Structure 1
């Protein structure tokens, strides 16, 4: 065995001799700078006679600082890539390994290695299919990670890498998951492999909060660097034990495999690349609920309904940082003028201010074809262009009709749109905005020299001029983490299933680098029957123990889309108020976690295994989480008044039952009345006393 630049090259030369007849044996298989001269092909063939069965190229990466030692083992025939740490497989390619689809539609799977060389600290392989079609695969190792690239020699339509899910334990990451069971609206598997994820539109331009990063129970991870659309399949029925990650319209699949000692180390390595926020939203966004009219009225909202709703909430003493008027106010989508349902917008804004709250407006860059602004923007060239005919605006169909999209990459268009928003602020006193829809659509052409991901950056910079009032924006993809916006989830239904999905997504988004994540509006906002009393209360309680509360459905009552009014009882109001009070009492502790995430990127909301990687039970739990290091919460996310609660190692104070519990321990039937939120304080931490005080204990 020889060593080059810290990496050890194993019995690779002998293994190369066992390639199928007619294959090339590279004389450069031994590193050129090794102490021994590289053997000739003939000597490699001779040496193979005493090494029958050595059908693996092995590259060993030594430990470095806190990075563990690991081995990369490449099977020759069949071609496989296996990552081994401390003698145990922690990541392995699946049945199709590396595959691609040619532009002609031919499915190709790499089945064997036909040549290999190690040069410039890279293992360079030529792999071939049974039909002889080849691709170049490069593995470039470094401490804690290695770059893995795949470049077919024939023009590819798509390129995929397939991993065996079971080799690494449970899988996490991804962001909002599209699933056959209703995700991301009513379903979000946690872990990902506990359900099925099938997303054919996974990209920086997706409306879903997608993040090309996945990590595993075994302390490994994968990120993919691409500007094109991806297709992601995890635990699909036809491949239940495999995760397949495919890029489209690209000559190369460029990815990084992370090798840590536990999942949190892998998260930290990815955040070191993606970045983390160094600023946070206004403290107002965390101190009291941000109310939005959407789920209360949908588009049937009027000025009188909006004010009656806000006045009722204000009079009840529930609390509000802001009241925002959502969709339903524009005369046409894209025009910044109010329709006839709002006879005196200035008086409406003034009345909200008189309650001590900020006023916000829903906003979109999508200009419907019947709007005056569409005609202006189209004439001036302010809209994204058509891919088919760049002389024409791109038109897109969305939930409110057909529109063009203001092109933020065009400085004149950007200023034109910004000036109109400034006029609303000046003339009416609007404090902030909820920017909905996307800043770019993949059906449109990008400006010359820009990419879909550039529009994420442009959108983030554009939105950073404004107060987002706790509703945030939905910017995503590697690098968006650093902007520090509140991240709001996609719309949810009003059912128990949606409530569970909402908080699985809180964990999913928090652990790909978005610490200021909030659920969809408390109670759901995707239409249909208003939430039951129990769903509304339990949702408010769970939202109380994350950084911010995003509200719409009033606990006083709500009007459904058919105009029917649902009235809740006085207890609903009291329990909602109790949840808000809990959140406000926790605010100093939450602010301390915000300060830490600004310094280190540490998530505010964490799955149990982030802090307790040896506690195996924590890897499958998605209805409990750590808020900082000193508090574990287990809100009711399903119907009933009992649930299972798992506590990791350590001493925990059970706030509801006023007793110390020693973990690890699973309490099979923990009683939770409708007025309770299960909270456990970790004893012996620097924040233990502060948290005890916040929850009403000394």
Structure 2
């Protein structure tokens, strides 16, 4: 057993286990634990070590590190994290058993890899948020077991924000899970080489600012991206898509982005338009630009064996490798063949592979004027999901694969920057810690078209915001299904539009009825704003007009997010941590500091309870009535509006009652 001081921290050795604690930014520390030593060559989300003015004291059998608001104590072989000003315990390691294995367990997998478990104490009344995006319908995830693996609609970002006043990043892209139990909190990596986590102390807003400083800030948000995005599965030709854009123009409806979905390509992984369906994409881009509309194109990270790029990429080792079997990772339809073919995903952790993909994308899309990218299936969408059989440039799949979506977004960000672009945004189906610094927006994946799903997205989006991703959206109306003639579904679309207009990105997409098998010639049912009948259309257009009026406010909140890390859409407790009731509210949110949003997410609901946070007074945007904070009201919610409240003293164009009357 031995302790020694290092620069801004300390090392402790117990047998083969080495624990390193280092100050890592304001009020923050990084902890690494390895067998015989700690490593600097393991992928993670943290950038270069920032400066910190830490005080370190090392004794014979104990050590203390104080960094601003955070105090770390090592005693009896266990770490304890304490708030320096009050000496209140934030988090502490706890032995799994009094004798063995202690708080940190390495179970050898072979070749220097281990199944790793890190155990912490559980606390009564603690609330736990973040962890990316999940469809379990929970905001507070205390009591849940959450898998750390990337899947469609299940996004693993291993960052927790606690009501006790800390945030913790499990700084490894390894596949695993986190158990948020009543008897303990346990982080598990199925196969990794060391424990690595970062912990910061403070109120929720402080934690989020520190996290952005540690993992990267989102770039400046493009002004055009604050408008309405039109999408469906799928527009089959250049003329079909342009006809929809012209209809928006002729109706006088706002439109900022329209989307070319999958199967527009010659073959999957050739990353180019099929000239039979898209004969002059440059002309399409020019016409759309004249209407003030951007063209976004779906680009997948998978490559069909029919693609001209497949043999080249195979020869150069640019695909994810397989430990066993040929490098095919999923099956998918492609043009020129019946049924499905085995496709390969490029290795996004390989800089050479990223450069290769961007080169093809630039030649075949960017050089035609395309500047907006939809990065679908970027988990990657393995079928079957077997990361244990994969080997990447950065290491074995089990250790590093969760970072795939961040690396994929990086390919487009770096490519756009090299081309001289400064307005960069990609829409991603998955993300990992730090994705935000690559201009990555996230949407909630292929979700059901139900009221239950709408309610789940409200919680999912707030947890995404608490995971460091400020740019987020959903498929308005849900993805799977939706009968345009159903009164119940039309009501769902209206309520989802009202919610979507108050999300960071405002986007319509879906695979509407009649649902047909996926095939290169298929399309879904109509999914334009006029597809749901006159009554729904009137309410949808009202939501679109509201969003247009809000765009200056939206852009101001996006500026704050980029500069500080504070997300535009956030739970009430971020701004009002002293209001105990606010911590339990899971279906309302603040958009910026001044606008309170209470979505309606039940069929037939025409009133709902709204909690007004303490410490301010709030004006009902519909009635102009001023209410004291710290209370819960029953608020009318007819189909034509969503309950909104404005903080006293704030003026938000398009929201104040007299402007909406």
Superposed pair shares fold, TM > 0.5: yes
Structure 1 segments unaligned to the other structure (5+ residues): 8-30, 39-56, 99-109, 113-127, 138-148, 178-182
Give the 3-state SS of the residue equivalent to 1:472 in structure 2.
Answer: strand
CA contact (8 A) 2:217 2:437 kept: yes
Corresponding residue of 1:172:
129
Give the 3-state SS of the residue equivalent to 2:116 in structure 1.
Answer: strand
Match of 2:642 among 677, 680, 696: 677
Corresponding residue of 1:641:
606
Corresponding residue of 1:549:
506
Tell whether 2:229 aligns with 1:274: no
Give the 3-state SS of the residue equivalent to 1:445 in structure 2.
Answer: strand
Distance 1:547 1:559, change over 3 A: same
CA contact (8 A) 1:89 1:167 kept: no
Distance 1:253 1:341, change over 3 A: same
Match of 1:433 among 369, 373, 377: 373
CA contact (8 A) 1:152 1:251 kept: no
Of 209-218 and 337-346, more deviation after overlay is shown by: 337-346
Match of 1:473 among 414, 422, 428: 428
Structure-2 separation of matches of 1:69 and 1:32? 11
Structure-1 separation of matches of 2:612 and 2:367? 54
Structure-2 separation of matches of 1:111 and 1:409? 38
Structure-1 separation of matches of 2:123 and 2:533? 49
Please list the CA deviations of residues 105-128 of structure 1 after superposition, one character each: whole Å capped at 9, or x if unmatched: xxxxx422xxxxxxxxxxxxxxx4
Structure-2 separation of matches of 1:381 and 1:33? 49
Which has the bigger relative contact order, CA under 8 A and spacing at least 6?
2
How far residue 170 of structure 1 moved from its aligned partner, in angstroms, is: 1.2
Distance 1:167 1:154, change over 3 A: farther
Please list the CA deviations of residues 152-174 of structure 1 after superposition, one character each: whole Å capped at 9, or x if unmatched: 79977422234455435211010
CA contact (8 A) 1:471 1:550 kept: no
Structure-2 separation of matches of 1:431 and 1:314? 21
Corresponding residue of 1:189:
138
Distance 1:311 1:380, change over 3 A: same
Please list the CA deviations of residues 412-461 of structure 1 after superposition, one character each: whole Å capped at 9, or x if unmatched: 54444333323333774434321222286744322267954775564233
TM normalised by structure 2 equals 0.75
Structure-2 separation of matches of 1:695 and 1:345? 48
Paired residues, what number? 568
How far residue 504 of structure 1 moved from its aligned partner, in angstroms, is: 1.4
CA contact (8 A) 1:471 1:488 kept: no
Tell whether 2:625 aligns with 1:659: yes
CA contact (8 A) 1:474 1:487 kept: yes
TM normalised by structure 1 equals 0.71
Match of 2:320 among 356, 381, 384: 384
- Pairwise mapping of residues 494-643 of structure 1 onto structure 2 (< 5 A)? 494-517=449-472, 519-527=473-481, 529=483, 532-552=489-509, 559-562=513-516, 567-639=531-603, 640-643=605-608
Match of 1:218 among 152, 155, 164: 164
CA contact (8 A) 2:332 2:343 kept: no
Corresponding residue of 2:329:
396
Larger radius of gyration: 1
Structure 2 segments unaligned to the other structure (5+ residues): 9-55, 334-340, 517-523
CA contact (8 A) 2:589 2:596 kept: yes
Structure-2 separation of matches of 1:633 and 1:426? 38
Of 335-344 and 633-642, more deviation after overlay is shown by: 335-344
Structure-1 separation of matches of 2:130 and 2:568? 16
Please list the CA deviations of residues 539-559 of structure 1 after superposition, one character each: whole Å capped at 9, or x if unmatched: 1111212322112369xxx65
Please list the CA deviations of residues 47-98 of structure 1 after superposition, one character each: whole Å capped at 9, or x if unmatched: xxxxxxxxxx998777x65x16687786x9xx997868847655456xxx55
CA contact (8 A) 1:230 1:246 kept: yes
Tell whether 2:219 aligns with 1:292: no
CA contact (8 A) 2:451 2:602 kept: yes
Tell whether 2:257 aligns with 1:330: no
CA contact (8 A) 2:236 2:277 kept: no
Corresponding residue of 1:361:
297
Please list the CA deviations of residues 163-198 of structure 1 after superposition, one character each: whole Å capped at 9, or x if unmatched: 455435211010112xxxxx2xxx4311113x7444
CA contact (8 A) 1:72 1:83 kept: no
Distance 1:190 1:343, change over 3 A: closer
Structure-2 separation of matches of 1:301 and 1:214? 42
Please list the CA deviations of residues 618-666 of structure 1 after superposition, one character each: whole Å capped at 9, or x if unmatched: 1121211111112211121222111110001111111112111001010
Structure-2 separation of matches of 1:291 and 1:469? 19
Corresponding residue of 2:409:
460
Structure-2 separation of matches of 1:198 and 1:234? 8
CA contact (8 A) 1:544 1:583 kept: yes
